[in-house]
Amino acid sequence: MQINLTGHHVEITPSMREYVETKFNKLERFFDKINNVHVILNVEKLQQVAEATLHINAGEIHAKADSENMYAAIDALTDKLVRQLNKHKDKLNSH
């Protein structure tokens, strides 16, 4: 799985990049057909925003989360993506 990480108004530090990669690699445990991921970390005034688009075999999954802390925003984002991946997997298994 390829992870593309972009920062808007924020410098992507090596520790931030490592954190994102660790969190997103865990997503593969839930759904192994993720081709690539595009993550955008953004700072809007006081809010830290993390959003991601997962390119999977049957389309795309997109989620966005924000928090006052970038790491918390990334955590919330991956939680949302896990729920969406599980829903997607259930849909695939029900057919």
Cα-flanking dihedrals φ and ψ of residue 69, to 5°?
Answer: -125, 130
Superfamily of domain 2-94 in CATH is: Ribosome hibernation promotion factor-like (3.30.160.100)
CA–CA dist 33, 65 (Å, integer): 23
> Taking the model in full, what pTM does it have?
0.91
CA–CA dist 84, 2 (Å, integer): 19
| pLDDT tens per residue, range 14-41 | 999 999 999 999 998 888 888 999 999 9
User: What's the mean pLDDT when you consider all of the chain?
Assistant: 93
